[in-house]
């Protein structure tokens, strides 16, 4: 199995799309998008889908609870990412800290979904 796509349910798809592209630097994948679903490529790893919650045909789940999922991005430099996110208006929840596994910071998107950036202290195979 290969986890390669994550879906975030959003109230305002246009605002969410702009945030993930402009503030986080993701690429819009038009071929896999529609007016109610936006596919984004962060550059490496799994792609992210933004689903307009009002247009979803699936039964409701935990998507009503922002923060119930954390999108974690492995980065080369957590502190540089923190500076860039702050400059781009990203809400920072926890400034960079050193944890047993490595360096980590926690932020939120405009709808309250958690975003983190991390760098492992040791290579992980």
Position 123 scores a pLDDT of: 80
Position 70 scores a pLDDT of: 85
**Residue closest to 13 by CA, chosen among 109, 81, 116, 85:** 109
Position 108 scores a pLDDT of: 94
Rounded Cα distance between 45 and 33, Å, is: 18
Mean pLDDT, 10 residues at a time, over the chain (125 residues)? 86 96 97 95 93 78 65 95 97 94 94 93 79
Give all domains of the chain, ordered by start, each with its CATH number.
1-55 (3.10.180.10), 66-125 (3.10.180.10)
Phi-psi region of 67 (alpha: psi -120 to 50; beta: other; left: phi over 0): left
Rounded Cα distance between 122 and 125, Å, is: 10
Rounded Cα distance between 66 and 109, Å, is: 9
């Amino acid at each position: 199995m290969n986890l390669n796509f994550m879906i975030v349910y959003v109230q305002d798809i246009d605002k969410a799309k702009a945030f993930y592209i402009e503030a986080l630097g993701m690429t819009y994948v038009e071929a896999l998008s529609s007016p109610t679903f936006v596919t984004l490529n962060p550059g490496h790893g799994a792609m992210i889908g933004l689903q307009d919650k009002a247009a979803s045909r699936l039964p409701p789940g935990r998507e009503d609870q922002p923060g119930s999922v954390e999108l974690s991005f492995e980065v080369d430099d957590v502190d540089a990412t923190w500076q860039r996110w702050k400059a781009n208006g990203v809400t920072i929840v926890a400034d960079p800290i050193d944890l047993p596994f490595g360096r980590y910071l926690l932020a939120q998107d405009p709808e309250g979904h958690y975003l983190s950036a991390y760098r492992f202290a040791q290579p992980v195979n």
